Amino acid sequence: MTSSELAREAFPQKIKRKIKQTLGPWGVFFDGFLRNPVMVGSIVPSSRFTINRMLSRVDWDNCKLFVEYGPGVGTFCRPVLDRMRRDAMLIVIDTNPRFIEYLRRTITDSRFVAVNGSAADVEEIVRAHGHEKADYVLSGLPFSTLPDGVGPAIAAATYRVIRKGGAFLVYQFTPRARTFMAKHFKRIDNAIEPINVPPCFLYWGWKDEDDAA
């Protein structure tokens, strides 16, 4: 390759790097989307309206373990940590190693654990960190674009890992996630958050005391 060909090839890389630096976490997220649009499923992180509404139903005084699937660049992580007890733990699970590396570098809270893995393995991950059950699980996974069988497997494992009285919190651009949740969670509350790109569906699946274990 000649030096002028090399320079031509490097130019778009340079622009990409500049855009990433200027946009900060949004740039890291957008880059993640460009590399794997199916798994990331969105071009911008959730809005603060979505975050506040989704988390408003959590009983923080009785939350010792909060799990998040698909944290991306951590849009929910800081708001969750701000609300969480000092002795509680937040475990986030993402298949994208770049997001996990970014989160480990930027969030230094001792209650925070970032795991590179799949939400389908939540039970092993929770046990590996010294817990039997999670109080709440939050999901930003693109359920509608996950490979066949992955969505149902994640919904089943999530139901098993949540303690009675806890809940599965889900936000999604399509109502598809509700279908997976409804196989396990008898009581599901829902809302729509219009101030988000695009507007999204919010679900709270409750594991009640008289539900199956």
Q: Smaller CB distance to ligand SAM: residue 165 or 194?
A: 194
- Taking CB under 6 A as the binding criterion, the range among 1-9, 54-62, 142-150, 157-165 that sits at the site for ligand SAM is 142-150
Q: Which amino acid is at 107?
A: I
Which of 46, 102, 170, 180 touches ligand SAM (CB under 6 A)?
46
- Taking CB under 6 A as the binding criterion, the range among 81-89, 92-100, 129-137, 156-164 that sits at the site for ligand SAM is 92-100
Q: What is the 8-class DSSP label of residue 147?
A: P
Which of 66, 76, 168, 203 touches ligand SAM (CB under 6 A)?
76
Which of 30, 140, 196, 202 touches ligand SAM (CB under 6 A)?
140
Q: What is the 8-class DSSP label of residue 173?
A: S
Q: Which tokens go with 167?
A: 């809940």
Distances (CA, A) of 184 to 3, 106, 163, 172, 209: 60, 35, 13, 18, 14
Contact status: 144 vs ligand SAM (CB under 6 A): no
Cβ-defined contacts of 30-33 (< 8 Å, 24+): 31/98, 32/72, 32/73, 32/96, 32/98, 32/99
Contact status: 196 vs ligand SAM (CB under 6 A): no
Q: Smaller CB distance to ligand SAM: residue 40 or 137?
A: 40
Contact status: 151 vs ligand SAM (CB under 6 A): no
Nearest alpha carbon to residue 107 among 126, 129, 130, 84: 84
Rounded Cα distance, 148 and 181, in Å = 16
Contact status: 69 vs ligand SAM (CB under 6 A): yes
Torsion-angle region of 206 (φ positive above 0: left; ψ -120 to 50: alpha; else: beta): beta
Element housing 65 (H / E): strand 65-69
> Closest approach of Cβ 33 to ligand SAM, in Å?
8
Q: Smaller CB distance to ligand SAM: residue 10 or 197?
A: 197
Which of 71, 103, 134, 202 touches ligand SAM (CB under 6 A)?
71
Question: Residues interacting with ligand SAM, by CB under 6 A?
Answer: 39-42, 45-46, 69-72, 75-76, 93-96, 99, 118-119, 140-142, 146, 150
